[in-house]
Amino acid sequence: MVLQVLFLMFSSRSIEPSIRQQLFLRSKEKMQLRLSTTVLSLCLATLTANPVCWSQQAEAPEPSPGEVIEAENCLVQYIFKVMLAARSEGVLTELHFEEGDTVKMGQLIAVIDDTAAALAVALKLAEEKEAVMNAANEVNLEDALNAEELASAESEAYKDLRKEGAIPYWEMEKKRLEAKRAKLRIDLAVMQKKIAEVQMIAKRSERQLAEFELSQRQVKTPSTGFIEARYAQLGEWLQPGSPIATLIQMDRLRVEGDIDALSFRSRVRQGTPVKVVIENDSDPNKAIKIDGKLGYVSMEIDLNNRHRVWVEIQNQPIIDEATGKVIDWQIKPGMRASIKIPQGS
């Protein structure tokens, strides 16, 4: 109907322009009304079919305090795992470890050829010692003070002789200028002593820099741990960043898992007491049970509405009675586990 009116309006030349405009506006309003009605109907149908669209963040029913909360996908993970790498280039001349060794913090495990670096340290030590001696030397200052005292006394004596007419004026003036120059020599001696002190500081810094370069050729462990793997060999040429070994911490590990972020919002908090069970696939009756606390609750929620959480646990070594060395650990990274928040927590 609307199209017929529009066709007649534009095809009939007998209709007045004012009437033609009114018909056009009225037809336009009817079309807009029909379009709005159609869009509103579609929206109502969609909302009726999917009520969740009214609130995507609808509150999930909070579980009762007596319900046990269990995390999913729980695994034992490392807390500390680091790649020990070379910090200077050169030939690897010393290795003091093997795979499987337990090392202490600060233990020297490898040395990159440090012959030149050690000689540089010795040279800088000698230069620093010389600078310290120069800074402590006060001979020049004392000599300048004595010379100024003598020159001042002579200047005063020549003034008296000049008053008596015993000497010409230019000799008296010469002694006065010598006394003035002696005072300048004192200032020069003081300045030289200050320069020597500054040079001593510079030489000390050069010595410290040489010692730092020497330390860069010594690979030490940043913490107590277990040598998981060795990559470098004796005699190998290393560049800065070349891997030497992998160090892992085994005395403390953590169990990571996922917990529903919406259903257990009020009960999943950092510090919440939990019970951790480390599974033993070969013998389920020998599972390791540990009481702990949630050490971390992620602020990020994944696509499945879950938090990432973890619990730190203490690991126990297995020691060889004959040698007294650690040969194994009870808990190992990668083992399956469970995290449960007990009733009332």
Confidence bin at 6 (pLDDT 50/70/90) = very low
- Asked if residue 8 has pLDDT above 50, the reply is no
Segment 181-186 long-range contacts (CB within 8 Å, at least 24 positions apart): 181/151, 182/144, 182/147, 182/148, 182/150, 182/151, 182/152, 183/148, 185/144, 185/147, 185/148, 186/141, 186/144, 186/145, 186/148
90 - beta bridge partners?
Answer: 238
- Asked if residue 343 has pLDDT above 60, the reply is yes
Q: What is the pLDDT of residue 319?
A: 87
Confidence bin at 48 (pLDDT 50/70/90) = low
* CA atoms within 13 Å, Cβ hemisphere of 241: 0
Rounded average pLDDT over 195-219: 95
Task: Return d(Cα 49, Cα 136) in angstroms, integer.
Answer: 92
- Say which CATH topology domain 69-79+249-341 has: Elongation Factor Tu (Ef-tu); domain 3 (2.40.30)
Taking the CA atoms of 138, 139, 141 and 145 in sequence, report the sign of the dihedral they define: positive
Q: What is the pLDDT of residue 31?
A: 67
For every residue of 291-333, which 3-state class applies, written as one string?
EEECCEECCCCCCCCEEEEEEEEECCEEECCCCCCEEEECCCC
Q: What is the pLDDT of residue 29?
A: 67
Task: Return d(Cα 133, Cα 91) in angstroms, integer.
Answer: 38
Rounded average pLDDT over 26-36: 65
Please state which of the ranges 132-146, 221-235, 259-273, 330-344 shows the lowest mean pLDDT: 259-273
Q: What is the pLDDT of residue 9?
A: 47
* pLDDT, tens digit, 9 for 90 and up, residues 275-303: 999 988 777 778 899 999 999 888 888 88
Burial letters 46-81, b for 16+ CB under 10 A, else e? eeeeeeeeeeeeeeeeeeeeeeebebeebebebbee
Average pLDDT, the chain: 83
Task: Return d(Cα 187, Cα 167) in angstroms, integer.
Answer: 31
Task: Return d(Cα 85, Cα 76) in angstroms, integer.
Answer: 26
Helix residue spans in the chain (DSSP H): 2-11, 17-49, 115-136, 139-164, 169-215
* pLDDT, tens digit, 9 for 90 and up, residues 53-81: 334 444 444 555 557 888 889 999 999 99
Residue type, 66: G
229 - beta bridge partners?
Answer: 246
Q: Which residue has the higher pLDDT, 52 or 22?
A: 22
Rounded average pLDDT over 27-42: 65
Q: What is the pLDDT of residue 102?
A: 87
User: Which percentage of the chain shows pLDDT scores above 70?
Assistant: 80
